[in-house]
Amino acid sequence: MRPLIVLALVLFAMAGLTSCSKPEKVQQVRIGIIRPSIDHLPLSVALEKQYLDPAKLKVYSFTSGWEVQEAITAGKLDLAIMPFTYAWTAVSKGYKLKIISCLERETDGIVAMPEYKNLKALDKRKIGLLRASTLEILMQDTAKRNGITYEPVYFRTPIEMIAAFKALVVDAVVCYVPLIQKMGSPYQVLHWFSETYPGHPCCDLVASEEILKTQPKAIENIQDGINQAVKDINTPAESVFRLVMQEYGLDSLQAVNALKRTRFDNKLTENDKQFELMMMQSFQEKGYLKHIPAIADVFANK
């Protein structure tokens, strides 16, 4: 056999071995989170404790719910942890999304300057809000229940809203954990919405219909990892508190209070669906929705 032919055969064999030994590329699921919010804590715990494989997830951080909504409706995300109002609004506009669980609950409240002693004291005052958010609709409902009116002042991000609050541009803000804890003294929580609606959803786990069809096993694995993390958070060990402090820049007392005012439950119940439907009916009254989508169009089958 000629030397050139032998060399060619050797190179061909080596190329075959190289291609066989090349590691298979992992298809990552892209998930969006709101960085200032505690809503993604179960995801952080699941990654920290390796209940989820970091190589199979690509996490993208945003500063507000509307930014996450824009990203997932543009097809730049497969999953998102976001306020339920943004999910319903997207579905009403024809975007193919499904809520697969109501993950984060009870974290929202009304924070005011110390001179305001109760909700009635906020009558005709300026309230800082994030437009079309869960926070806005809960404030609207609370005002109606307590017979007060207020002047809404809208901000694009919670950080901008809190800065305006501290600069006395508004008299109160509707905000969430852990930003409430980070405000510290002298600010006070006048009302937690969980006092009216125990266990109410705040941020949901939302998926594109495409990822539910093409990678159902990957989504199931993510759900399982989050479920394990939720169990850890609900009976928190020192490692969970350390992660909360590290993730959100809290001191030890703030971390304790943040977890005390947060509930995680990675489920999707009929009560969750009906609560969100009721809130979205108020959304429609404000003119944010032309029509309310059917429950079957909003939620994944369970």
Domain boundaries, the chain: 29-105+201-298, 108-195
Measured between alpha carbons, how far is 200 from 271 in angstroms, rounded to an integer?
9
Domains 29-105+201-298 and 108-195 share a fold: yes
pTM above 0.85, yes or no: yes
CATH number of 108-195: 3.40.190.10
Per-residue pLDDT of the chain (302 residues; tens, 9 = 90+): 444 343 343 333 444 444 444 444 558 999 999 999 999 999 999 999 999 999 999 999 999 999 999 999 999 999 999 999 999 999 999 999 999 999 999 999 999 999 999 999 999 999 999 999 999 999 999 999 999 999 999 999 999 999 999 999 999 999 999 999 999 889 999 999 999 999 999 999 999 999 999 999 999 999 999 999 999 999 988 999 999 999 999 999 999 999 999 999 999 999 999 999 999 999 999 889 989 999 999 999 86
**Cβ atoms 97, 91 nearer than 8 A:** yes
Residues 6+ apart with CB under 8 A from 249: 182
Measure Cα distances from 249 to 81, 174, 243, 244, 290 in Å: 20, 21, 10, 8, 40
Residues 6+ apart with CB under 8 A from 225: 46, 51, 52
CA 294 to chain centre: 22
**Cβ atoms 171, 126 nearer than 8 A:** yes
Which CATH architecture does the domain made up of 29-105+201-298 adopt? 3-Layer(aba) Sandwich (3.40)
Element (H, E) at 111: strand 108-112
**Cβ atoms 99, 206 nearer than 8 A:** yes
Measured between alpha carbons, how far is 182 from 204 in angstroms, rounded to an integer?
23
